[in-house]
């Protein structure tokens, strides 16, 4: 089919022409000469100073566009101020209670400048860290952009996390200032965010100031000389703050994510490389046109909110929807109603969200006109074919391609996905298709040898890419050890994958001790640590169990301290305890009291055994289970463990 024939087709049919050869051509040429490829993309952004070198690669540390000077807020806002784009709507915001606000790029620019000046006046400056604990309101992206304008590194803590999780992150980042609100609305209730911040600040010493946005209009404590209302902080501030000309690898943000130990990892992203990568991938994957209405409902507390709610869409000059509340509040048709109301054309959601809404049937989405949709996306976990089909048939009305995007907090942006912009390949439900241009992905065995098609192995990335994180904050040793030692020279994301006979990649879940609950990463050890913090618990082992909606749910086996007896009351108390330590996403689904835990001779918990018992599966090949123990010993241990669970 010729180009002119193609362009005469309705948009969505155009997507379904298999233009894989074009997509693959671009992918191959990018890999042949990655530095030229990435530098051509970086040139589409505005730099105060050009770079001297595209990539300074000292394995495993990459510096992109060294010598270049750039600013994130300048690229997201100032670039548009000389054109009509400044009057385009950047955000259409809807509160949970139906409140509505819109902000043009110009209005966003104005508010960002005032708030940047407010931050300066409160004494924060380039190189400092600040922390966010905020609901999904427009002031959240405003404040983030303001921080980037003056070169302050920010860290967002999801507002569902507990005071102790917030305190740990503030302590690790040594944040000088916290931005929060009195409260936030969630499912009709008010989350008292400021109270939680106060509790966290009792366990920290680095914070000098707290800026509090009035959102819920509730009674809160304001500590003298420390706490400042947002509306007071912006009084008498300047209309324009010169954006800092930052080195390309200036730290843009730290985002904490779970790993295989109890201590969360501070993933540190730079500026020039990250922005280039997020800019490119937003274009390739979402193909946002001038009249599109784009909606990624991810909370800014997750990396998806950073890359594809804030930076990516703003770098494309897009109009985005922002929603404050829960997707099923006041009822499970809220999202469909909003897609209809705002004529959303591109929608980027999660498999868990899709499954949760799917269980309410087809009638709810069918009550609304979803015809404005032209492209759908998913992120965070593998999508099962049934959910894919429902999303495709019922939400997309069989005309919207679905981009299944695989990536991580560490990768900064989407790594594997189909690309409507470059030419859409035929889609297979459940496959993220292929690596994007410039991404050298492979699947290898334990020794690092490439697997044949059809064989399960470990996903690796063999070349640096501009979106990759700089390191783990304050812990470059852990960075090296977790990501670069298993397969020397390759980045190891910790996921299993398989390639089918057409070369498509299928992601098969985590290969390490990390759970993926509703698209959120949680370390088993983090949950175990939270359990043993409770006085009644002596030891705990945690495993994931397949869950129809959330992908995985949390199962805990706990040994009680002497003097405590198993009871339903204690079970409820422990659930609430974990919830209050780690936040609602970490709430255990099931808690079993046991007399012993299966362990190796060296005292390590036999994770495969715990996992198999949690999901009611066969243990599999016990001979390859763990170090040192004989088959009989392991079998005996398993039997005892099972027995002890039944008791």
Nearer to ligand PRX, 252 or 560 (CB): 252
Do residues 193 and 133 touch, judged by C-beta distance below 8 A? yes
Using the contact rule CB under 6 A, the part of the chain among 11-19, 316-324, 331-339, 490-498 near ligand PRX is: 490-498
Which of 172, 404, 513, 526 lies at the binding interface for ligand PRX (CB under 6 A)? 404
Using the contact rule CB under 6 A, the part of the chain among 60-68, 378-386, 469-477, 541-549 near ligand PRX is: 378-386
The count of residues interacting with ligand PRX (CB under 6 A) is 21
Query: Is 27 near ligand PRX (CB under 6 A)?
Result: no
Which of 381, 442, 526, 528 lies at the binding interface for ligand PRX (CB under 6 A)? 381
Q: Give the x-and-dash track for 535-574 against ligand PRX (CB under 6 A).
A: ----------------------------------------
Do residues 209 and 176 touch, judged by C-beta distance below 8 A? yes
Query: Is 94 near ligand PRX (CB under 6 A)?
Result: no
Distance of closest approach, residue 510 Cβ to ligand PRX, in angstroms: 5
Using the contact rule CB under 6 A, the part of the chain among 144-152, 379-387, 420-428, 592-600 near ligand PRX is: 379-387
Nearer to ligand PRX, 425 or 432 (CB): 432
Query: Is 516 near ligand PRX (CB under 6 A)?
Result: yes
CA angle 196, 469, 527 (to 5 degrees): 45
Distance of closest approach, residue 5 Cβ to ligand PRX, in angstroms: 33
Query: Is 406 near ligand PRX (CB under 6 A)?
Result: yes
Query: Is 526 near ligand PRX (CB under 6 A)?
Result: no
Using the contact rule CB under 6 A, the part of the chain among 55-63, 149-157, 402-410, 553-561 near ligand PRX is: 402-410
Distance of closest approach, residue 19 Cβ to ligand PRX, in angstroms: 22
Give burial (CB, 10 Å; 0-12/13-18/19+) of 158. Answer: buried
Nearer to ligand PRX, 138 or 264 (CB): 264
Query: Is 169 near ligand PRX (CB under 6 A)?
Result: no
Question: Distance between alpha carbon 560 and the CA centroid of its chain, in Å?
Answer: 35
Nearer to ligand PRX, 132 or 406 (CB): 406
Query: Is 344 near ligand PRX (CB under 6 A)?
Result: no
Question: What are the two backbone dihedrals, phi and then psi, of residue 302, each rounded to the nearest 5 degrees?
Answer: -110, 165
Distance of closest approach, residue 509 Cβ to ligand PRX, in angstroms: 6
Distance of closest approach, residue 26 Cβ to ligand PRX, in angstroms: 21
Extract the tokens encoding 466: 């501009």
Q: What is the DSSP letter of 403?
A: E
Do residues 627 and 634 touch, judged by C-beta distance below 8 A? no
Query: Is 600 near ligand PRX (CB under 6 A)?
Result: no
Return d(Cα 532, Cα 559) in angstroms, integer: 9
Return d(Cα 609, Cα 611) in angstroms, integer: 5
Query: Is 408 near ligand PRX (CB under 6 A)?
Result: yes
Using the contact rule CB under 6 A, the part of the chain among 119-127, 147-155, 373-381, 592-600 near ligand PRX is: 373-381
Do residues 592 and 557 touch, judged by C-beta distance below 8 A? yes
Q: Which helix (H) or strand (E) holds 211?
A: strand 209-213
303: which residues sit within 8 A by CB, 6+ positions away?
255, 257, 267, 408, 409, 412
Nearer to ligand PRX, 209 or 510 (CB): 510
Question: Distance between alpha carbon 121 and the CA centroid of its chain, in Å?
Answer: 32
Q: What is the number of other CB atoms lying within 10 angstroms of the CB of residue 365?
A: 23
Distance of closest approach, residue 186 Cβ to ligand PRX, in angstroms: 20
Distance of closest approach, residue 481 Cβ to ligand PRX, in angstroms: 17
Which of 176, 521, 534, 545 lies at the binding interface for ligand PRX (CB under 6 A)? 521
Query: Is 507 near ligand PRX (CB under 6 A)?
Result: yes
β-bridge partners, 503: none
Extract the tokens encoding 16: 């379904």
Ordered DSSP codes for 287-309: ---TT-EEE----TTSHHHIIII
Return d(Cα 433, Cα 444) in angstroms, integer: 17
Quick one: which of 352, 371, 630, 396 has its CA closest to 515?
A: 352
Distance of closest approach, residue 158 Cβ to ligand PRX, in angstroms: 11
Is the Cα dihedral 502, 505, 509, 514 positive or negative?
positive
Question: What are the two backbone dihedrals, phi and then psi, of residue 150, each rounded to the nearest 5 degrees?
Answer: -105, 10
Q: Give the x-and-dash track for 131-150 against ligand PRX (CB under 6 A).
A: --------------------
Site for ligand PRX in 264-303 (CB under 6 A): 303
Query: Is 70 near ligand PRX (CB under 6 A)?
Result: no
Which of 194, 510, 545, 550 lies at the binding interface for ligand PRX (CB under 6 A)? 510
Query: Is 248 near ligand PRX (CB under 6 A)?
Result: no
Distance of closest approach, residue 82 Cβ to ligand PRX, in angstroms: 34
Nearer to ligand PRX, 253 or 592 (CB): 253
Query: Is 304 near ligand PRX (CB under 6 A)?
Result: yes
- Kindly report the three-state secondary structure assignment for every residue of 479-518: HHHHHHCCCCCCECCCEEEEECCCCCEEEEEECCCEEEEC
Q: Which helix (H) or strand (E) holds 610?
A: helix 607-614
Pairing status of strand 495-499 against strand 457-461 = antiparallel
CA contacts within 13 A on the Cβ side of 272 = 30
Distance of closest approach, residue 301 Cβ to ligand PRX, in angstroms: 11
Residue 298 zone, left/alpha/beta (φ > 0; ψ -120 to 50; rest)? beta
Q: Give the x-and-dash track for 426-445 against ligand PRX (CB under 6 A).
A: ------x-------------
Give the footprint of ligand PRX on this chain (CB under 6 A): 257, 303-304, 379-382, 404-409, 432, 493-495, 507, 510, 516, 521
């Amino acid at each position: 089919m010729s180009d002119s024939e193609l362009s005469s087709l309705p948009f969505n049919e155009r997507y379904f022409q298999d233009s894989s050869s074009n997509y693959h051509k671009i992918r191959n040429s990018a890999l042949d000469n990655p530095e030229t490829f990435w530098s051509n993309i970086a040139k589409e952004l505005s730099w105060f100073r050009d770079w001297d070198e595209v990539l300074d690669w000292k394995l495993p540390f990459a510096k992109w566009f060294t010598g270049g000077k750039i600013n994130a807020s300048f690229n997201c806002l100032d670039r548009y101020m000389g054109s009509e784009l400044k009057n385009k709507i950047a955000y259409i915001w809807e509160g949970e209670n139906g409140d509505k606000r819109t902000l043009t790029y110009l209005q966003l620019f104005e508010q960002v400048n005032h708030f940047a000046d407010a931050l300066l006046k409160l004494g924060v400056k380039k190189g400092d860290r600040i922390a966010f604990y905020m609901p999904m309101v427009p002031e959240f992206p405003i404040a983030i952009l303001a921080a980037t304008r003056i070169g302050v590194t920010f860290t967002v803590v999801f507002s569902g996390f507990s005071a102790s999780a917030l305190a740990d992150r503030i302590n690790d980042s040594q944040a000088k200032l916290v931005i929060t609100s009195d409260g936030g609305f969630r499912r009709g209730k008010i989350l008292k965010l400021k109270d939680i911040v106060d509790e966290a600040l009792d366990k920290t010493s680095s914070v000098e100031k707290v800026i509090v946005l009035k959102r819920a209009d509730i009674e809160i404590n304001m500590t003298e000389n420390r706490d400042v209302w947002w509306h007071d902080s912006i009084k008498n501030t300047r209309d324009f703050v010169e954006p800092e000309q930052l080195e390309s690898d200036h730290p843009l943000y730290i985002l904490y994510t779970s790993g295989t130990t109890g201590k969360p990892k501070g993933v540190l992203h730079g500026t020039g490389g990250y922005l280039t990568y997020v800019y490119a991938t937003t274009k390739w994957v979402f193909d946002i046109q001038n009249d599109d209405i784009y909606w990624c409902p991810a909370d800014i507390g997750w990396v998806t909110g950073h890359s594809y709610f804030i930076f990516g869409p703003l770098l494309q000059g897009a109009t985005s929807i922002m929603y404050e509340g829960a997707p099923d509040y006041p009822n499970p048709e809220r999202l469909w109603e909003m897609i209809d109301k705002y004529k959303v054309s591109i929608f980027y959601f999660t498999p868990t969200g899709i499954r949760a809404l799917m269980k309410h049937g087809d009638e709810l989405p069918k009550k609304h006109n979803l015809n404005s949709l032209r492209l759908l996306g998913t992120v965070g976990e593998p999508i099962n074919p049934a959910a894919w089909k429902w999303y495709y048939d019922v939400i997309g009305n069989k005309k919207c391609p679905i981009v299944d995007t695989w990536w991580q907090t560490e990768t900064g942006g989407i790594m594997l996905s189909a690309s409507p912009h470059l030419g859409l390949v035929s889609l297979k439900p459940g496959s993220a298709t292929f690596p994007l241009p410039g991404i050298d992905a492979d699947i290898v065995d334990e020794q690092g040898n490439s697997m044949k098609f059809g064989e399960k192995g470990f996903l690796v990335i063999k070349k640096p890419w501009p979106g990759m994180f700089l390191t783990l904050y304050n812990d470059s040793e852990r960075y090296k050890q977790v990501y670069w030692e298993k397969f020397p020279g390759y980045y190891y994301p910790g996921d299993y994958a398989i390639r089918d006979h057409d070369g498509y990649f299928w992601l098969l879940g985590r290969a390490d001790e990390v759970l993926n609950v509703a698209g959120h990463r949680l370390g088993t050890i983090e949950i175990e640590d939270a359990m043993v913090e409770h006085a009644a618990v002596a030891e705990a082992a945690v495993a994931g169990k397949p869950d129809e909606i959330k992908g995985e749910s949390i199962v805990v086996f706990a040994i009680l301290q002497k003097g405590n007896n198993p009871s339903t009351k204690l079970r409820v108390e422990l659930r609430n305890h974990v919830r209050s330590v780690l936040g609602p996403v970490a709430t255990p689904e099931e808690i079993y009291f046991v007399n012993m835990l299966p362990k190796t001779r060296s005292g390590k918990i036999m994770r495969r055994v715990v996992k198999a018992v949690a999901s009611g599966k066969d243990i599999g090949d016990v001979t390859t289970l763990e170090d040192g123990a004989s088959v009989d010993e392991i079998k005996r241990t398993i039997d005892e463990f099972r027995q002890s669970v039944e008791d």
